[in-house]
Amino acid sequence: MTPTNAAAPPPPETAEQLAAFEARIAAGEYIEPKDWMPERYRKQLIRMMSQHAHSEIVGMLPEGNWITRAPSLRRKMTLIAKVQDEGGHGHYIYCATETLGVSRDQMVADLLSGKAKYSSIFNYPTLTWADIGVIGWFVDGAAIVNQTVLAKASYGPYARSMIRICKEENFHKRQGYEICAVLASGTEAQRAMVQDAVNRWWWPSLMMFGPGDASSPNSEELLRWKVKRFSNDELRQRFVNLTVPQAQAIDVALPDPELRYDAASGDWHFGQVDWNEFWQVVKGDGPCNRERLAARNKAHDEGAWVRAAAEAYAARRAGAAASAAA
């Protein structure tokens, strides 16, 4: 619980307030932290933004797993920089979420306790070096599709954090695609490695856009309030359309026998996503859910001395300054 906000119950919302708010949204205005907003809008944003922030932080783990084993110094420098960026992304979004009145401590506690959700994609393991390439290509590629649209979200701080993030994601995607392209033009074993990684990551990447429109309980409201601008299915289609030619260009097959170009719509038709698998991973039974949470907790606990040292150092400096002044 956040004592700051638990103090007073929010005043009742009037129809006039809601109408004025929705008129602002309809007029394309951005909502800023101190503006009036329906409690429901605030709650939905806190849920969505904190999950997004957690995803950036947990997303550091599967890739961090390969830093010590990157095949060259160039790849290693790149991977360190990328993982650090993801930490930065988490930071931008946590800050933006704090403007809604939830504390950082609370969000971190919810992540560590397992109460909070994050993107299911990060509950899959990174088995080979090719996975690092495919994550950059697919996972960051999907994130770009999502975040480019969220950069126009109606909540100002969220939109601004997305703009900052989008500027950094292109590097993430390109380095991943480069890894894949190099492997795909390499030896038989390298080609097999990248194809195997593509086979494992393709469907979970499509799941990143969330459940289909028919079974996405929050979508309608988020679209109406222009937090989202396109539905999950629309964005998923956009991602598929972008990715198919990229796969063809490096001669890698996407693992979907139903994949075919539909000239009438201009879309690549794709097969059914296995939503049972999706819900199973969301509910905590993915291949790495427990491992990720344990790793996050370990990192947090092992960082305790750094936080304590920073506080002690600041206190001592403040003390020295005070006695010098006396």
Partner 1 sequence: MADDASNGAPAGGQWPLWEVFTQEQTGQPHEHAGSVHAVDAEQALQNARDVFGRRGKVVSVWVVPTEQITASTPGDAGPFFDPGSDKAYRHPQFYKAPRGVRIY
The contact set with partner 1 (CB under 8 A) reads 2-4, 32-36, 81, 84-85, 88, 91-92, 95-96, 98-99, 101, 103-106, 156-157, 160-161, 164, 168, 310-311, 313-314, 317-318
Tracing tokens 């950036």 back to the chain, one arrives at 56
Question: Is residue 324 exposed (0-12), middle (13-18) or buried (19+ Cβ within 10 Å)?
Answer: exposed
State the helix-helix crossing angle for 140-150 and 156-184, rounded to 10 degrees.
Answer: 160
Count of residues of this chain found to bind Fe ion when the rule CB under 5 A is applied: 6
What does 302 interact with, of Fe ion, partner 1, none (CB < 5 to 8 A by kind)?
none
What does 164 interact with, of Fe ion, partner 1, none (CB < 5 to 8 A by kind)?
partner 1
What are the tokens at 309? Answer: 């040292």
**What is the nearest approach in angstroms of partner 1 to the Cβ of residue 161?**
6
Residue from 298, 274, 297 nearest 286 by CA? 274
Q: Does 52 bind Fe ion (CB under 5 A)?
A: no
How many other C-beta atoms are found inside a 10 Å radius of the C-beta of residue 157? 22
What does 172 interact with, of partner 1, Fe ion, none (CB < 5 to 8 A by kind)?
Fe ion
Strands, E assignment, 200-239 = none
Q: What gap in Å lies between CA 275 and CA 211, rounded to an integer? A: 7
Helix, strand, coil percentages for the chain (3-state, nearest 5): 70, 0, 25
**What is the nearest approach in angstroms of Fe ion to the Cβ of residue 264?**
34
What does 212 interact with, of Fe ion, partner 1, none (CB < 5 to 8 A by kind)?
none
Distance of CA 84 to the CA centre of its chain: 14
21 versus 209: smaller Cβ distance to partner 1:
21
Q: Does 172 bind Fe ion (CB under 5 A)?
A: yes
DSSP state of 31: B
DSSP state of 9: P
**What is the nearest approach in angstroms of partner 1 to the Cβ of residue 49?**
11
143 versus 244: smaller Cβ distance to partner 1:
143
Q: Does 140 bind Fe ion (CB under 5 A)?
A: yes
67 versus 95: smaller Cβ distance to partner 1:
95
Catalog residues that contact Fe ion under the rule CB under 5 A: 56, 86, 89, 140, 169, 172
